[in-house]
């Protein structure tokens, strides 16, 4: 753009941390557009659609401009303006008081999708004395846990560049990060003749790159994986040398999987027996083959069984850490910046104080740190067990949108002593907050630096903050100082914080700023078959014992057995399913589930950005055309979707690429869009929030090992009595 | 004409992410409802043999543009130096004859009633840069160059694919 000023910085339009590199164009003090940064090795000058919509997001009329304190009752949404000092002093005073009366563990902080500020949240909890960093229990860590304790590696990545067969399993391979190099690699894999198989209930356009679609019912991935193990074992398609040298428990596995035949799996998964045989054989006989598994596995009572089974599949077929398989990254020559987490302060007493452990206490801390669950923290408010949390802080996250059981969450918010919302825009449950503190978007701040495995760059401010607020990082430093934890918070100096983190790289933040597009470090040459090293990886447990006690793949898992869990993965039904609860089928004949990402949105935000909203303007339910036509439902009709637990109102989108017995909706819808005149949706029943649809019974709805909260149920879908978008406050 | 610029689009690479649409829209400040570049997805097949293919489409800057011939005001012209077809909104009075003439439905009309469309990022291209859509595509499905360059590249790509297929067949 003629006359615009270019500022190198990071995109801030998705998470987790380490955004793609961009150049922000500023003209007459206004942020007008972005272009990609070629120098960034992550995106190499390319960006996804969300990146380009940044200016609209930054200048949104929904931005919070100043701190607020609630007036009136919770839920009314009435606030009065206060200053930053008043807001932080109020929070500090409350936390000090509660620490004295109830102990520091009475504070819980909800985790956003992992960001570079996540470790500052952890640091505050460390300084305060609370272990209650609360994960949603539906993402990333669930798979990582099963993989770490089976293979010693939390995230063995699919080696796209060298694969001849890529199995995408429960993932949206492109929309999960379109601008990262993996999109190009996937497309190039296909171009050079790699076969792509997609195992998913519905085929979003990115997975439609696949040549073969395995249309699996939601929540039944463990059954499919066990049946594939059955075929591999029975037909001798395993790598006998690898198994004998590096696997513990193969004999027990061969006996265990006999009952999990493809015929058995067909009636549960809906995948034809022949196809199960074919996919297993294809995987077992293709030398360079990888499984790119994703978030779709993480939401069922059998989530850990699915992930463990897939980890075992990868191992026994000889695809672990081999060319074209699932590999353990070697990283680069870049020294890792020092973490601010203060993990060295963990003790057994610390772990014991967790209000709602995400993983059982004997397995805490896990790789991110100690963690409770979001949902469990809210339940503690209602049940008082094991003790009630008294303050919950939600920094860049929305509990009614990001965890299941929104009704329970709202009940808990009604009862909770103190709720703090810290965000850039209004949130779904902000009306229940006692104090709301706005913070800067990543475009309004010049810190912190960010880094990937081989690149590090200082952040540059694009525009000055648009309101009376500071950055998320400055907030925690400031609050830390007000609480008397100044020694742990660099006495409020973000510069000192960054310099401490950069010390291992031998530079200060000023040194880093000399490189406007950061520094790229040479990679290390890839090495495969690092079995001795990987299988002896120490766990983050306090005694650092290895993940794998035998120094081999834990097919038979003695670590889990020792704590009373099943040593081998098995099958566990979703709470409601076609096979588990046939009595419900009369009233609720269809399987319902949700998917986590889409072309233009991220989690529970971005629906208020007009450029993006124009592309996907309404929350829809994906239905097969036959499923719709027998119900008299046409494309675009508003429909009521009802489960035994709740109901939603969505627009029908007829797609041939979905199982006819299954309907699916996108997670995270609640926002309206002011500029387009589109109203928001109720957070509870009658809106577009999938979290109301599922069972949250603590005895049934969770995977016992990894807390995964189920996202499968049974529903009926019928045309809504009145058509048209609901206008604000008027349900139709 | 000295040279003719154009786009090349490879449907095998398109992942239907809409980044090209957004890059174009934000650069040119296109208003609501107007999309100079459009990504359209099409389903085919019957369950479970289903495919979804997408196309990213904008003006193709025809060699002999029907819109230029149709315009009664001479508001549309094909630049002799690079073949880019541009509209002069001062002259346009929004009769829509260009839309009727275009086989691809490219001309669009915003709030002011006048025609607007892809201008091949003429401001960037004359500075030696790539159009915004091409520059941003994460899958490198869109390319830009002279028709000569694009033709040679397309041939190379096809030859490579044929060779790979015959290698696998052997």
Q: Is A41 on the interface with B (CB under 8 A)?
A: no
Predicted confidence (pLDDT) at residue A4 exceeds the cutoff of 90: no
Nearest-by-Cβ selection for B32 from A33, A46, A614: A614
Mean pLDDT of chain A: 95
Distance from C-alpha of A362 to C-alpha of A351, rounded to nearest angstrom: 9
Least confident interval from A3-7, A129-133, A278-282, A725-729: A725-729
Distance from C-alpha of A473 to C-alpha of B35, rounded to nearest angstrom: 38
* CB contact (8 A) between residue A49 and residue B164: no
Least confident interval from A489-503, A693-707, B92-106: A693-707
Domains located in chain B, CATH noted: 59-117 (3.30.70.20)
Predicted confidence (pLDDT) at residue A730 exceeds the cutoff of 80: no
CA distance A653 to chain B (A): 13
Asked whether the beta carbons of A307 and A151 are under 8 A apart, the reply is no
pLDDT tens-digit map of A643-677: 999 999 999 999 999 999 999 999 999 999 999 99
Identify the DSSP state of A673: B
* B112-117: Cβ within 8 A, 24+ apart: B114/B87, B114/B89, B115/B75, B115/B76, B115/B87, B115/B89, B116/B30, B116/B34, B116/B36, B116/B87, B116/B89, B117/B36, B117/B58, B117/B59, B117/B87
Nearest-by-Cβ selection for A599 from B17, B45, B137: B17
CA distance B139 to chain A (A): 5
With a CB cutoff of 8 Å and minimum separation 6, the contacts of A533 are none
3-class state of residue A213 by DSSP: strand
Distance from C-alpha of A320 to C-alpha of A318, rounded to nearest angstrom: 6
Predicted confidence (pLDDT) at residue A2 exceeds the cutoff of 70: no
User: Phi, psi at residue A652, to the nearest 5°?
Assistant: -75, 130
CA distance A35 to chain B (A): 7
CA within 13 Å, CB half, A210:
31
Residues in chain A within 8 Å Cβ distance of B130: none
What is the chain A residue with the closest CA to B135?
Answer: A46
Predicted confidence (pLDDT) at residue A1 exceeds the cutoff of 70: no
* CB contact (8 A) between residue B18 and residue A600: yes
What is the chain B residue with the closest CA to A613?
Answer: B32
Identify the DSSP state of A137: S
Residues in chain A within 8 Å Cβ distance of B21: 49, 615
User: Phi, psi at residue A169, to the nearest 5°?
Assistant: -125, 110
Residues in chain A within 8 Å Cβ distance of B46: 656
Evaluated on CA atoms A288, A289, A294, A297, the torsion sign reads: negative
Predicted confidence (pLDDT) at residue A454 exceeds the cutoff of 80: yes
What pLDDT does residue A731 have?
A: 42
pLDDT tens-digit map of A28-71: 999 999 999 999 999 999 999 999 999 999 999 999 999 999 99
Confidence of residue A359 (pLDDT cuts 50, 70, 90): very high
* CB contact (8 A) between residue A35 and residue B135: yes
**Interstrand relation of A620-623 and A21-27 (parallel, antiparallel or unpaired):** unpaired
Predicted confidence (pLDDT) at residue A364 exceeds the cutoff of 70: yes
Q: Is A192 on the interface with B (CB under 8 A)?
A: yes
3-class state of residue A308 by DSSP: helix
Residues in chain A within 8 Å Cβ distance of B45: 656
3-class state of residue A651 by DSSP: strand
* Residue whose token pair is 């290698």: B167
* CB contact (8 A) between residue A205 and residue B12: no
**Interstrand relation of A289-293 and A165-169 (parallel, antiparallel or unpaired):** parallel
Mean pLDDT of the A522-526 span:
95
pLDDT tens-digit map of B50-99: 999 999 999 999 999 999 999 999 999 999 999 999 999 999 999 999 99
**Interstrand relation of B49-57 and B38-46 (parallel, antiparallel or unpaired):** antiparallel
* CB contact (8 A) between residue B48 and residue A655: no
Q: Is B142 on the interface with A (CB under 8 A)?
A: no
Distance from C-alpha of A262 to C-alpha of A639, rounded to nearest angstrom: 36
* CB contact (8 A) between residue B138 and residue A656: no
Asked whether the beta carbons of A186 and A309 are under 8 A apart, the reply is no
Distance from C-alpha of A445 to C-alpha of A498, rounded to nearest angstrom: 14
Predicted confidence (pLDDT) at residue A551 exceeds the cutoff of 50: yes
Asked whether the beta carbons of B125 and B82 are under 8 A apart, the reply is yes
CA distance A210 to chain B (A): 8
Q: Is A376 on the interface with B (CB under 8 A)?
A: no
> Model's pTM, two decimal places?
0.96
Least Cα distance to A650 among A641, A663, A660 occurs for A641
Residues in chain A within 8 Å Cβ distance of B22: 49-53, 611-612
Identify the DSSP state of A385: -
Mean pLDDT of the A617-635 span:
97
**Which residues on neighbouring strands pair with residue A687, listed in sequence order?**
A648
Confidence of residue A209 (pLDDT cuts 50, 70, 90): confident
What pLDDT does residue A178 have?
A: 85
Q: Is B122 on the interface with A (CB under 8 A)?
A: no
Q: What is the largest CA-CA distance in chain B?
A: 62
CA distance B169 to chain A (A): 11
3-class state of residue A58 by DSSP: helix
Residues in chain B within 8 Å Cβ distance of A615: 18, 21
Q: Is B152 on the interface with A (CB under 8 A)?
A: no
Q: Is B48 on the interface with A (CB under 8 A)?
A: yes
Find the helix or strand (DSSP H, E) in which A652 lies: strand A647-654
Chain Cα centroid distance, residue A345? 26
Find the helix or strand (DSSP H, E) in which A482 lies: helix A472-482
What percent of chain A lies above the pLDDT cut of 70? 98
Nearest-by-Cβ selection for B138 from A184, A600, A612: A184
Most A CBs within 10 Å, among B9, B10, B19, to test the A interface:
B19
C-alpha distances in angstroms, A15 versus A51, A518, A669?
A: 12, 20, 17
Predicted confidence (pLDDT) at residue A732 exceeds the cutoff of 80: no
What is the chain B residue with the closest CA to A661?
Answer: B47
> Where in A111-182 does DSSP place strands (E)?
133-135, 157-158, 165-169
Mean pLDDT of the A185-193 span:
92
* CB contact (8 A) between residue B54 and residue A676: no
Confidence of residue A16 (pLDDT cuts 50, 70, 90): low
Most A CBs within 10 Å, among B18, B35, B42, B137, to test the A interface:
B18
Q: Is A49 on the interface with B (CB under 8 A)?
A: yes
Torsion, Cα A196 A202 A204 A210, to 10 degrees, reads: 10
* CB contact (8 A) between residue B26 and residue A52: yes
Size of the A and B interface in Cβ pairs below 8 Å: 126
Predicted confidence (pLDDT) at residue A92 exceeds the cutoff of 80: yes
Ramachandran class of A167: left when φ > 0, alpha when ψ lies in -120 to 50, beta otherwise:
beta
* CB contact (8 A) between residue B135 and residue A624: no
Nearest-by-Cβ selection for A206 from B16, B22, B48: B16
Chain Cα centroid distance, residue A595? 11
CA distance A46 to chain B (A): 4
What is the chain B residue with the closest CA to A44?
Answer: B138
Q: Please identify every stretch of chain B with a pLDDT value under 50, giving residue numbers as ranges.
A: 170
Nearest-by-Cβ selection for A611 from B16, B25, B135: B25
* CB contact (8 A) between residue A655 and residue B43: yes
Q: Is A660 on the interface with B (CB under 8 A)?
A: yes
Predicted confidence (pLDDT) at residue A557 exceeds the cutoff of 90: yes
* CB contact (8 A) between residue B138 and residue A43: yes
What pLDDT does residue A729 have?
A: 44
Least Cα distance to A277 among A234, A341, A318 occurs for A234
Ramachandran class of A26: left when φ > 0, alpha when ψ lies in -120 to 50, beta otherwise:
beta
Nearest-by-Cβ selection for A205 from B19, B41, B135: B41
Ramachandran class of A14: left when φ > 0, alpha when ψ lies in -120 to 50, beta otherwise:
beta
C-alpha distances in angstroms, A52 versus A31, A56, A179, A268?
A: 11, 9, 12, 43
Total count of residues recorded for chain B: 170
What pLDDT does residue A726 have?
A: 63
Predicted confidence (pLDDT) at residue A346 exceeds the cutoff of 80: yes
* CB contact (8 A) between residue B27 and residue A1: yes
């Amino acid at each position: 753009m003629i006359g615009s000023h270019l500022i190198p910085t990071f995109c801030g339009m998705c998470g987790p941390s380490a955004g793609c590199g961009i150049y922000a164009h500023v003209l007459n003090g206004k942020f007008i557009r972005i272009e990609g940064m070629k120098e960034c090795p992550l995106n190499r000058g390319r960006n996804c659609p969300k990146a380009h919509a940044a200016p609209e997001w930054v200048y949104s009329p929904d931005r919070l401009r100043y701190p607020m304190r609630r007036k009136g009752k919770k839920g009314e949404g009435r606030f009065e303006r206060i200053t930053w000092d008043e807001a932080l002093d109020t929070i500090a005073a409350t936390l000090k008081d509660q620490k004295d009366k109830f102990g520091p563990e009475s504070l819980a902080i909800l985790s956003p999708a992992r960001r570079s500020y996540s470790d500052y949240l952890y640091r505050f909890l460390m300084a305060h004395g609370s272990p209650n960093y609360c994960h949603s229990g539906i993402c990333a860590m669930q798979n990582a846990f099963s993989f770490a304790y089976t293979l010693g590696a939390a995230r063995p990545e699919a080696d796209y560049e060298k694969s001849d067969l890529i199995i995408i399993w429960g993932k949206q391979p492109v929309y999960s990060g379109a601008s990262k190099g993996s999109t190009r690699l996937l497309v190039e894999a296909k171009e050079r003749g790699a076969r792509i198989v997609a195992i998913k209930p519905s085929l979003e356009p990115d997975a439609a790159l696949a040549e073969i679609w395995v249309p699996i019912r939601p929540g039944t991935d463990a059954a499919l994986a066990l049946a594939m193990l059955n075929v591999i074992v029975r037909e001798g398609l395993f790598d006998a040398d690898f198994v004998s040298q590096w696997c513990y428990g193969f004999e027990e596995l061969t006996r265990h999987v006999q009952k999990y035949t493809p015929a058995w799996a067909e009636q549960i998964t809906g995948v034809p027996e022949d196809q199960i045989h074919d996919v297993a054989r294809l995987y077992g006989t293709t030398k360079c083959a990888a499984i790119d598994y994703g978030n779709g596995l993480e939401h069922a009572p059998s989530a850990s069984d699915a992930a463990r089974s897939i980890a075992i599949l990868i191992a026994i077929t000889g695809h672990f850490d081999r060319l074209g398989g699932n590999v353990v990254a070697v990283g680069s020559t870049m020294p890792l910046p020092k973490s601010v987490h203060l993990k060295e302060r963990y003790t057994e007493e610390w772990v014991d104080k967790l209000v709602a452990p995400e993983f059982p206490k004997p397995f805490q801390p896990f790789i991110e740190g100690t963690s409770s669950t979001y949902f469990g923290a809210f339940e503690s408010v209602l049940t008082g067990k094991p003790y009630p949390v008294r303050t919950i802080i939600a920094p860049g996250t929305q509990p009614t949108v990001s965890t299941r059981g929104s009704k329970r969450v709202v009940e808990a918010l009604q009862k909770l002593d103190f709720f703090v919302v810290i965000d850039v825009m209004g949130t779904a449950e902000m009306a229940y907050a006692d104090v709301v503190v706005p913070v800067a978007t990543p475009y309004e701040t010049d810190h912190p630096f960010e880094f990937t495995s081989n690149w590090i760059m200082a952040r540059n401010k694009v525009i000055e903050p648009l309101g009376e607020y500071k950055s998320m990082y400055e907030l925690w430093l400031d609050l830390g100082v007000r609480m008397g934890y100044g020694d742990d918070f660099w006495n409020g100096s973000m510069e000192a914080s960054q310099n401490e983190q950069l010390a291992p790289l031998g530079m200060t933040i000023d040194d880093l700023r000399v490189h406007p597009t950061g520094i790229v470090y040479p990679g290390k040459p890839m090495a495969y078959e690092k079995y001795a090293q990987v299988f002896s990886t120490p766990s983050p447990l306090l005694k650092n014992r290895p993940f794998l006690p035998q120094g081999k793949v834990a097919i038979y898992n003695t670590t889990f057995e020792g704590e009373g869990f099943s040593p081998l993965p098995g099958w566990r039904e979703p709470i409601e399913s076609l096979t588990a609860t046939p009595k419900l089928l009369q009233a609720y004949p269809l399987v319902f589930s949700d998917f986590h990402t889409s072309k233009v949105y991220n989690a529970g935000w971005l629906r208020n950005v007009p450029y993006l909203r124009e592309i996907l303007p309404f929350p829809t339910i994906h239905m097969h055309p036959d499923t719709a036509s027998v119900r008299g439902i046409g494309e675009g009709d508003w429909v009521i979707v009802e489960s035994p637990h709740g109901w939603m109102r969505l627009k029908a989108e007829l797609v041939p690429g979905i199982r006819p017995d299954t309907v699916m909706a996108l997670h995270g819808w609640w926002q309206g869009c002011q500029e387009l005149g589109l109203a928001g949706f109720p957070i509870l029943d009658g809106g577009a929030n999938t979290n109301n649809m599922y069972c949250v019974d603590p005895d049934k709805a969770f995977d016992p090992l990894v807390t995964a909260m189920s996202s499968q149920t049974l529903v009926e879908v019928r045309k809504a009595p009145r058509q048209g978008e609901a206008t604000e406050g008027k349900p139709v | 004409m000295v040279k003719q610029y154009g786009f090349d689009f490879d449907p095998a690479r398109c992942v239907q992410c809409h980044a090209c649409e957004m890059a174009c829209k934000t650069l040119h400040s296109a208003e609501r409802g107007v999309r100079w570049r459009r990504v359209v997805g099409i389903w085919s097949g019957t369950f479970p043999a289903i495919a979804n293919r997408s196309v990213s489409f904008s003006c193709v800057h025809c060699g002999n543009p029907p819109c230029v011939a149709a315009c009664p005001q001479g508001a549309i012209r094909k630049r002799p130096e690079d073949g880019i077809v541009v509209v002069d909104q001062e002259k346009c009075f929004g009769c829509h004859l260009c839309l009727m003439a275009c086989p691809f439905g490219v001309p669009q009309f915003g709030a002011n009633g006048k025609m607007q469309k892809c201008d091949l990022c003429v401001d960037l291209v004359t500075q030696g840069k790539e159009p915004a859509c091409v520059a941003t595509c994460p899958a490198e499905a869109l390319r830009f160059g002279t028709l000569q360059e694009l033709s040679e590249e397309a041939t190379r790509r096809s030859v490579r694919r044929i060779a790979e297929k015959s290698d696998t067949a052997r």
